[in-house]
């Protein structure tokens, strides 16, 4: 069961400094593109920020604020992007994002959850993915002539989005084959990674998916899981260790491609038109992809954690490899956005479960930033980012990284 009291230190330590809302002052390049919290930018009230949400969590924990459906909807407007957490930890060691997720869990377990979030769990319990695609159709896109290596200990994890847009996974298959990497698909046993359920507070439903996939990898002798979706990658790295030690390592397709390029096992065409792109860091591939390390102990004066606690600060996500790959493709020039790496602005997709207007405004802000960088195309590696950034009234073209790589292979 949820236990908000585990995060009492974080709730009581907040001094309302506002660092959860802005890029660090010494790293700002100007007033524009200086904010990091999408919901605070959109709503303008402190309640809609890391600071506000942990304050709300304390009020709930201490019985001064009633749990309601309206409160749950408000808490779910947060995209869970983690920018507040990264920036807060530049001031002091606190678990802002973990507190927000625990508040969501508390509300979900007491029956308060937006309908869109509830439907995801209902779909999964009915044998579908969170978005309603039946398990039997999960790999309906797979080419009839596909051949895998049944003895490979590397699995390419397709993810739920492949049923709606298989292009990134098909591109990843082409990259692996071009680089001579033996792999297989878990066509019978693959289920949703569970990130959508866990991040919305439905941890019991998420745990069933986590354990199913982990057991399936174990039975099949899988040692390495390659992901194309940034959300799946972040789930394997930061969610699965919460439910027990994992026996497999998770690798993103950009990391595989970067290694293959260094080894000279991928080559690219040189006769294609030049392209100016900007790389959008997905939250779950970037700052939220650091491996979660469980901790239990005592918090003493001045925040001393005994035994010593491992802190995830967002600095060791997958940032270098996508940029290295883009730099290696002839004719592709990369322009960086102001907010990047651990300070990247979220696409806002998950805010749309509770407030589509907030999600659209968040995505629109990111597109505005991409235009300001001089990009013709946004490149990313998350189907949710692609969906969010492709919408709006004046979008830029958005291309998946694997699709871009595969389309320029010699």
- The CATH number linked to 229 is 3.40.50.1860
* Nearest to 374, CA basis, from 396, 344, 398, 401: 396
Mean pLDDT, the chain, integer? 96
Question: pLDDT category, 156, cuts 50, 70, 90?
Answer: very high
Among 262, 280, 306, the domain boundary falls at 262
- 194 and 69 assigned to the same domain: no
Domain of 157?
117-262
Could you report the per-residue pLDDT of 293-319, keeping only the tens digit for each?
Answer: 999 999 999 899 999 999 999 999 999
- 182 and 53 assigned to the same domain: no
pLDDT score at 359: 97
269 lies in some domain: no
Angle at 214 between CA 213 and CA 215, to 5 degrees: 90
pLDDT score at 65: 97
pLDDT score at 100: 98
Separation between Cα atoms, residue 211 and residue 243, nearest integer Å = 8
**Which two structure tokens, joined as six digits, stand for 227?**
């992901």
379 lies in some domain: no
Separation between Cα atoms, residue 330 and residue 270, nearest integer Å = 6
- 142 and 18 assigned to the same domain: no
Question: Residue 358: what are its φ and ψ, rounded to 5°?
Answer: -65, -40
- 23 and 92 assigned to the same domain: yes
Separation between Cα atoms, residue 235 and residue 223, nearest integer Å = 17
Residue 264 backbone class (left: φ over 0; alpha: ψ -120 to 50; beta: rest):
left
Section 112-125 average pLDDT: 95
Give the residue carrying structure tokens 């033996």: 182
Q: Which residues contact 326 (CB under 8 A, 6 or more apart)?
A: 277, 279, 332, 334, 379, 401, 404
Residue 24 has pLDDT above 90, yes or no: no
Separation between Cα atoms, residue 202 and residue 200, nearest integer Å = 6
* Nearest to 334, CA basis, from 388, 384, 282, 277: 277
Section 350-356 average pLDDT: 94
- 153 and 222 assigned to the same domain: yes
Separation between Cα atoms, residue 77 and residue 43, nearest integer Å = 10
Residue 395 has pLDDT above 90, yes or no: no
pLDDT score at 1: 83
Residue 348 backbone class (left: φ over 0; alpha: ψ -120 to 50; beta: rest):
left
Among 96, 113, 130, the domain boundary falls at 113
- 150 and 90 assigned to the same domain: no
Could you report the per-residue pLDDT of 198-245, keeping only the tens digit for each?
Answer: 999 999 999 999 999 999 999 999 999 999 999 999 999 999 999 999
* Structural domains in the chain (count): 2
Determine how β-strand 298-299 pairs with β-strand 275-279. unpaired
Question: pLDDT category, 109, cuts 50, 70, 90?
Answer: very high
90 lies in some domain: yes
Is the torsion defined by CA of 237, 240, 246, 252 positive or negative? negative
355 lies in some domain: no
pLDDT score at 91: 87
Going by the DSSP 8-state scheme, the letter that residue 273 receives in this structure is: P
177 lies in some domain: yes
**Which two structure tokens, joined as six digits, stand for 18?**
């506002």
pLDDT score at 12: 95
Angle at 402 between CA 399 and CA 408, to 5 degrees: 85
DSSP H/E element including 199? helix 195-199
Residue 393 has pLDDT above 90, yes or no: no
- 76 and 166 assigned to the same domain: no
Among 94, 113, 132, the domain boundary falls at 113
Note whether 295 and 305 are within 8 A (CB).
yes
243 lies in some domain: yes
pLDDT score at 155: 98
**Which two structure tokens, joined as six digits, stand for 300?**
């003493």
- 104 and 211 assigned to the same domain: no
Note whether 334 and 404 are within 8 A (CB).
no
Question: pLDDT category, 140, cuts 50, 70, 90?
Answer: very high
pLDDT score at 384: 97
5: CATH: 1.10.1060
Note whether 26 and 95 are within 8 A (CB).
no
251 lies in some domain: yes
């Amino acid at each position: 069961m949820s236990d908000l009291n585990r995060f009492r230190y974080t709730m009581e330590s907040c001094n309302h400094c506002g660092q959860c809302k802005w890029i660090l002052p010494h790293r700002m390049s100007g007033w524009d593109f200086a904010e990091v919290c999408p919901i605070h930018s959109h709503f303008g009230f402190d309640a809609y920020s890391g600071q506000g949400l942990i304050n709300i969590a304390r009020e709930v924990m201490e019985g001064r604020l009633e749990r309601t459906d309206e409160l749950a909807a408000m808490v779910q407007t947060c995209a869970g992007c983690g920018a507040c957490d990264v920036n807060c930890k530049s001031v002091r060691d606190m678990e802002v994002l973990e507190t927000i997720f625990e508040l969501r869990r508390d509300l979900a377990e007491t029956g308060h959850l937006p309908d869109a979030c509830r439907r995801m769990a209902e779909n999964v319990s009915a044998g579908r993915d969170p978005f309603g695609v039946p398990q039997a159709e999960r790999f309906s896109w797979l080419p009839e002539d596909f051949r895998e290596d049944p003895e490979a200990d590397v699995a390419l994890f397709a993810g739920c989005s492949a049923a709606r847009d298989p292009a990134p996974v098909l591109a990843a298959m082409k990259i692996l084959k071009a680089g001579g990497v033996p792999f297989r698909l878990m066509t019978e046993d693959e289920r949703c990674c569970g990130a959508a359920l866990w991040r919305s507070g439905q941890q019991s439903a998420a745990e069933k998916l986590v354990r199913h996939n982990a057991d399936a990898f174990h039975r099949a002798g899988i040692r390495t899981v390659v992901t194309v979706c940034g959300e799946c990658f972040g789930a394997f790295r930061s969610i699965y260790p919460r439910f027990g030690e994992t026996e497999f390592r998770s690798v993103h397709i950009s990391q595989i491609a970067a290694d293959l390029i260094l080894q000279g096992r991928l080559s690219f065409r040189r006769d294609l038109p030049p392209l100016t792109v900007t790389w959008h860091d997905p939250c779950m591939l970037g700052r939220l992809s650091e491996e979660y390390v469980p901790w239990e102990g005592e918090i003493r004066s001045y925040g001393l954690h005994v035994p010593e606690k491992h802190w995830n600060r967002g600095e060791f996500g997958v940032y270098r490899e996508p940029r290295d790959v883009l730099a290696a493709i002839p004719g592709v020039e990369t322009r960086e956005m102001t907010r990047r790496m651990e300070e990247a602005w979220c696409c806002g997709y998950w805010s749309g479960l509770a407030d589509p207007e907030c999600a659209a405004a968040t995505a629109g802000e990111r597109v505005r930033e991409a235009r300001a960088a001089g990009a013709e195309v946004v490149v990313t590696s998350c189907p949710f980012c692609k969906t969010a950034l492709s919408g709006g009234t004046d979008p830029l073209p958005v291309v998946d990284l694997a699709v871009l790589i595969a389309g320029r292979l010699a």
